Amino acid sequence: MIVREIAQNEKGEYNKYVSHVVQSWEWGEFRKSTGLELVRLGHYQGNRLISAYQMTLHKVPLFSGKIGYLPKGPLPDKEMVRALRDLAIRRNVAFIKIEPNVIISGQQTAYSQQLEKLGLYPSKKSLFTKHNFLIDLTKSEDSLLSAMQPKTRYNIGIAQRYGVQVYESTTDKDFEIYLKLYFETTKRQKYFGHTPEYHRLAWKTLMPAKMARLLIAKYMEKPLVAWMLFNFGDTIYYPYGGSSNEHKEVMASNLVCWEAMRIGKRLGLKTFDMWGALGPNAKENDAWYGFHKFKAGYGGLLVEYAGTYDLILKNALYKSLNFADKLRWVYLRARNR
């Protein structure tokens, strides 16, 4: 087997072998536009590509060395770990955070043992959640509505009776509406979102590739909800959204989610990926419970992924970086209260 970096003229072939939008070629170009170093590796049997993935490399202020991040790629095997180790040594990488796009169906112990035998250790910090809701869009609209919780169906009906209007857009004007509502929401909910520049670069890269669109809900001509949706392969994704604190009674967010599902069906896609959720025993006092409860109302399948693992190359630096990151988040949370 040969492992080498993917060439620029192999974009089409590369995209056939990845299974999530954040592993897509276009997403990699977006991440490069933010100033990150990006590496795409392909595993070849002779001249035939059999596996592919990409990883970003992040410089760490005040430390010599980098951190690798490989989200939603394949399940690591010996060849993959060997290739990542070799690359890490060449690029002065302290550790690589790996989050496979692999649903484990309750086999956590078996997967953990398999990955730990390869020298991967359960990470103390995850970036993608371990659980997620997936909705089967191959079902009819009637079946999708029937699978929802009664309260969710009722709220969709409320929005329709109030005359909430939901429209799809790819205009810059509506993108500014989206940004405004997104950051209103992060401030109100006191969580940390990506920067405006991050969203602009994602939009600038993915929208022309027909992989990003906006859904905006208006009531009495006032924008109340705006979501950015991604699509790749046979999946539509809901990664980012924002809402106004006004007119909560019209349930605009519920209608936006239903229209997102309908768009996925119209595009001929098979799955609606809701980007993340809490586990099966979600607690009401969890800061993310409101998001989880909203998503749960749409009747999707709650799945569990293999989780987050670290491939550690420089143990002392790895420990120092994790400690520094913990202090940083203590400071940010205290400042955000």
Residue 332's pLDDT is what? 59
Please give the residue range of the domain that contains residue 182.
131-304
pLDDT at 331 over 60: no
> 5: helix, coil or strand?
strand
Reported as a single tens digit per residue, the pLDDT across 207-254 is: 999 999 999 999 999 999 999 999 999 999 999 999 999 999 999 999
Q: Give the H or E element holding residue 34.
A: none
Q: What is the CATH number of the domain that holds 159?
A: 3.40.630.30
Categorise residue 175: left if φ over 0, alpha if ψ from -120 to 50, beta otherwise: alpha
Token look-up 């909705």 returns 135
**253 closest CA partner among 143, 150, 155, 154:** 155
Q: Are strands 93-99 and 235-243 parallel, antiparallel or unpaired?
A: unpaired
Indicate whether 42 and 115 sit together in one domain: yes
For the stretch 121-154, pLDDT in tens is: 999 899 999 999 999 999 999 999 999 999 999 9
The answer to whether 96 and 311 have CB atoms below 8 angstroms apart is yes
pLDDT at 326 over 80: no
* Domain identity same for 247 and 271: yes
Mean pLDDT, rounded, for 19-31: 98
Sheet of 212-219: strand order equals 165-169, 212-219, 222-232, 235-243, 271-273, 131-136, 301-304
Are both 109 and 216 inside the same structural domain? no
Output the average pLDDT for the chain: 94
* Polymer length of the chain: 337
- The rounded percent of the chain whose pLDDT value lies above 70 is 97
pLDDT of 168 strictly over 80: yes
Residue with tokens 């890269």: 205
Number of domains comprising the chain: 2
Say if residue 94 is in the same domain as residue 219. no
pTM of the model: 0.94
What is the Cα–Cα distance from 112 to 115, expressed in whole angstroms? Answer: 5
272 vs 108, more confident? 272
